[in-house]
Amino acid sequence: MQVVPIESRKLTTLDNQIREGVIRACRILEGEPGADNYSLKLVNIEGDFFSPRHRHNFDQIRIQLEGQFDYDKDGCFTPGSVGYFPEGTRYGPQTSSGVTWNLLLQFGGASGSGYTAESEEERAAGELKQQGAFEKGVFTRYKEDGTKVNQDAYEAIWEHIHGRPLVYPKERYERPVFMNSGHFDWVSVPGQPGVCSKLMGVFSELETKIAFFKLDAGSALALEARSFYFVLSGAGQAAGQAVGRHTTLALGTGETASLSAQTELECVQLRLPRQRSAATQ
């Protein structure tokens, strides 16, 4: 298990070629290239931001911590809002104008399409700028005959990296799933005294999970494998290390551990989907 205090990660400005606006982030953890890849980061946007309606070939989970983020007809995020954005499903357009913070997990979904690392995207975006221009989430280039071609920025970058057309997974969900965690009730967790949970949902046939937990002082939470636990408030200990606000606990496949609370503590669990090879045996 990894214990990652947010203080160990720098807040940096991302080389954002895909969408319109300045994005800063603390890159908490990143996986390895392939179908099981992921990126977990704490994202800050200040000022105007815009992204056109679009889709991806990977899954996303967003937890709104501060500020307001508008997804047009899909809904508006305020603190406590939770969103599951499935691969292949369109969402947006997205806009914001104030100061926002959200926890963002991007990862390969159940289709096995995987997740492309940001470092690869940044390199590809720089190369594509020699062929055209990015503006408001769209990449524009001109053919030899002068014909103008517009393409979603992420799609153009992905195809440049992989050298083939991007084929989106079929939609498992017709629209993103938006939830208001404040409207869920705390429920006692059997066999774990002093621990309550709010289960937001389990998604796709490979069982991606989103859940909140509240621990009384002196209680302990058993942690699941293939999960990230992001501490929202309180203090505790895990694997002999101090845990505080915005600390992340990351467990890999087959790992188990526990989180003990020194004060009342709240955290959110984001469980990655089961590995398809294991799930289909």
Write the single-letter amino acid at 133: A
**Lookup result for tokens 């994202």:** 43
Q: Is residue 144 part of a domain?
A: no
**Model's pTM, two decimal places?**
0.91
| Residues 72 and 53 sit within 8 Å (Cβ to Cβ) | yes
Residue 255's φ and ψ, nearest 5 degrees, are -85, 145
Q: Is residue 100 part of a domain?
A: no
pLDDT < 70: residue spans in the chain: 15-20, 35, 277-281
The whole domain housing 266 covers 183-279
pLDDT at 47: 85
Percent of the chain whose pLDDT exceeds 90: 80
Q: Is residue 214 part of a domain?
A: yes
Q: Is residue 52 part of a domain?
A: no
Rounded Cα–Cα distance for residues 229 and 214 (Å): 12
Rounded Cα–Cα distance for residues 88 and 108 (Å): 12
Question: How is residue 206 written in tokens?
Answer: 């490979």
Following DSSP, what letter does each residue of 175-191 receive, concatenated?
S-EEEEGGGSPPEEPTT
pLDDT at 174: 96
Rg over CA atoms, the chain: 19
pLDDT at 281: 45
Rounded Cα–Cα distance for residues 198 and 187 (Å): 6
Q: Is residue 27 part of a domain?
A: no
Q: Is residue 234 part of a domain?
A: yes
Q: Is residue 177 part of a domain?
A: no
Q: Is residue 172 part of a domain?
A: no
| Residues 71 and 155 sit within 8 Å (Cβ to Cβ) | no
pLDDT at 97: 86
Pairing of strands 248-251, 227-233: antiparallel
Neighbours of 242 (CB within 10 A): 12
Number of domains the chain contains: 1
Q: Three-state DSSP class for 197?
A: strand
pLDDT at 20: 66
Neighbours of 235 (CB within 10 A): 16
Give, in degrees to the nearest 5, the angle at Cα 6 between 157 and 200: 75
Rounded Cα–Cα distance for residues 4 and 30 (Å): 12
CATH number of the domain encompassing residue 266: 2.60.120.10
Rounded Cα–Cα distance for residues 19 and 237 (Å): 38
pLDDT at 41: 97
